[in-house]
Amino acid sequence: MKLSFWRKTKEPSTPIGTDPDADIEVLISECRKNLPRCDEAMIRKAFQFCVQAHKNDLRESGEPYYTHPLEVARIIVNEIPLDDVSVCAALLHDVVEDTTYSLEDIRAEFGSTVAEIVDGATKISGIFRSTEIRQAENYRKLLLALVKDVRVILIKFADRLHNMRTLGALPPERQQRLARETLDIYAPFAHRFGLANIKWELEDLAFKYLNHTEYDAIKRALAESRTERESYIARFAEPIIERLKKEGFQFEITGRPKHIYSIYQKMQRLGVPMSELYDLLAVRIILDTNENKHCYTVYGIVADIYEPIADRFKDYIARPKKNSYQSLHAAFIGPDGKRIEVQIRTRAMHEIAERGIAAHFRYKENQGNGRVPSWWHDKELEEWANWVRDIFENAGDEAPEQLLESFKLNLYQDEIYVYTPRNDLIILPQGATPIDFAYAIHSEIGNHCIGAKVNGKLVPLDYQLKTGDQVEILTSKNQHPTKDWERICITHKAKSNIRKYLNDEKRRFVEQGKQLWEKRLRKAQAAPTQEQFDRMLNKLGIPNPNEFFYKLGLGIVNADVAIQLVGADTDRAESSPSVPDGTAHQVSLERLRSDSGVVLDSAHPPIPNLLYQYARCCNPVPGDDIIGIITIGSGIKVHRRDCRNIAEMGDTLHARIVNLSWAPHQRGEYLATLRVTGEDRPGMLHDITNAITGYRNTNIRSVNIDVFGSDFEGIITLYVRDLEHLNEIFSRIGRIRGVRSVARFNG
């Protein structure tokens, strides 16, 4: 039992690079001290191989190149202590990439395990370089390497850490690029693996090169206030130490300052100077016990001495983070009314918190020797990779940029803990919605999600879930994802499933469009050339054939009009040279618009290439009485004539109003919003959604229902074909027991 003050991990003080014979002895000495097993002969052999392979290479600093893999191996030994195989692989990790030796040479000398780790490290060498991402396949290589042997990624962390420690030897532009890449990708990835000390040092080193002025100012202030802070911690800890001794606990109390980048982030977030931050120093109580319940007992003891701050208590023991981090976090009012943070954990939890997956790996290696904690199971090591697998499992042909965006998003998000109706725990990123929850359970539940109940109350699909919420997903076989869902959800699993469904749906419409086009061509006995087909696409403003067939299958483009455009081009070229250029084009476009969308009343002069959008405030559908408002940059906004916004703006719109009517033939779907009120009862939402989706496979976009005592009011947005379709929905909902009113919602 002792009080100590945490000091930031520093580079080993022993000098390296002047004498290879002395260098290997330093490494062997550190291996004997830190590794559970140590095949010294194999490590010496790997070191000699490394020195020989890199004998003609120098680092940017002018040092022999072998010093870099040697320092990476020392980080593996001292800061992520794994095993002797990891040390050998670290010494050899650059050999295949940078020298004439092959992977087969390494396999022949050191066996398959070392060779596979080196191969994995080589394959993913540039994967995290956000400026160099070229193809999504690189991410799959990362996943395969990660799942096959987690030591691959741990060596890459050590590799990057040493590169950052020696970044000063590089030119400024490379310093900036590597520092940004480290802050964006490596540091949060290290956090996901539970490598707290590595993460902190990577962040601070990156921050040093990205914002040297702020870095130096905070570092200087921390150094100046160290004595005062350590004195305060001693005062705070003294009564706690006495009570814990009295209760018979074996423990260690440490005072840990926040790292520099974390302080800077908090200053920026709160908009305050460093002097106004109250939690620059946290107290950590580490118990030498295997009983998790003792952590709660110690929390009670501290709470008996100092006043706890209720909303600052976090229990990561009952609900561990995805990287298996466990600890109690709390805040108390200490001496002189100052706030101070306290973390309470067992020694095993501390090992996991500081060294993450490395500690798990060592526990796994040492199974059977009595050192494995009771809460550890084989399957937990696989959990380390699950969040990465979620990112890749449905990637398909997704663009690398999208994959990188999702990858980084998932790295940075904190977690929330939510529950199914059966109280199964689901861990999601902060900001997740019911759609994310639905896809986390199963892709089919996500695809048919129509609404959600959180803690027994109906919520909209864009509701942000919070830790402790119990979530029930409501589904309908007729519901399907829409493009808006991708904007609402945040997890890659949800986004990729939505994209997959929409892409599959698009492929179906493309195929239908191709079949329809071929059928119409045969009927018209037309055989347009590629040049004629391309000119027709250009007239319609469609960029490529796939998009044309998609719009044809969807009903946005009329096949007969498209054939007439091809025919008009042929007729003009062969038999109507006297028609002014563009006339047939304009006539055909007007005919096209008469088959889809809206048209100007005959009293108005024609407007070439008429652009229009449907107003979201009133969501007009075919059959509504409509007018248009001329806007700048957005063409004509189509409103219902009884739209409240139009009435409120009155005479100010007079000069910009144009009269519109619906085209004779409508093939698309249009958004409509309903307001439903009535008496709340079990099954009401189910009855309403079934009434909607059961008619012509109507698709619901969103449901937002509020309950007031025994009554409810709901706003439902859905897709309809026309006013007749909408009126039938009104009728079906109106017949439901307990529904008082259903009407158009004019937002």
Contact 81, 362 (CB under 8 A): yes
Other Cβ atoms closer than 10 A to 506: 16
Catalytic hit among 19, 97, 401, 724: 97
CA dihedral in degrees (265, 269, 275, 277; nearest 10)? -90
Residue from 445, 492, 443, 444 nearest 472 by CA: 445
For 293, residues 6+ apart whose C-beta sits below 8 A from its C-beta are none
498 to 501, 502, 517, 698: CA distances (angstroms):
5, 6, 28, 18
98 among known catalytic residues: yes
Catalytic hit among 98, 214, 380, 687: 98
In angstroms, the CA 53 to CA 55 distance is 6
Beta bridge partners, 471, equal 454
Contact 205, 167 (CB under 8 A): yes
Instruction: Measure CA 706 to chain center.
Output: 30
Contact 110, 63 (CB under 8 A): no
In angstroms, the CA 681 to CA 600 distance is 47
**What residue has token string 């990729």?**
496
Q: Which tokens belong to 117?
A: 């780790």
In angstroms, the CA 393 to CA 443 distance is 12
Apex 671 CA angle, 604 and 601, nearest 5: 10
DSSP letter (8 states) at residue 491: S
Q: Which residue type does 294 have? A: H
In angstroms, the CA 57 to CA 604 distance is 78
Q: Kindly report the backbone phi and psi dihedral angles of residue 156, in degrees, each rounded to the nearest multiple of 5, phi listed first.
A: -65, -35
Q: Which residue type does 325 have? A: Y
109 among known catalytic residues: no
Q: Which residue type does 175 have? A: Q
Residues designated catalytic: 97-98
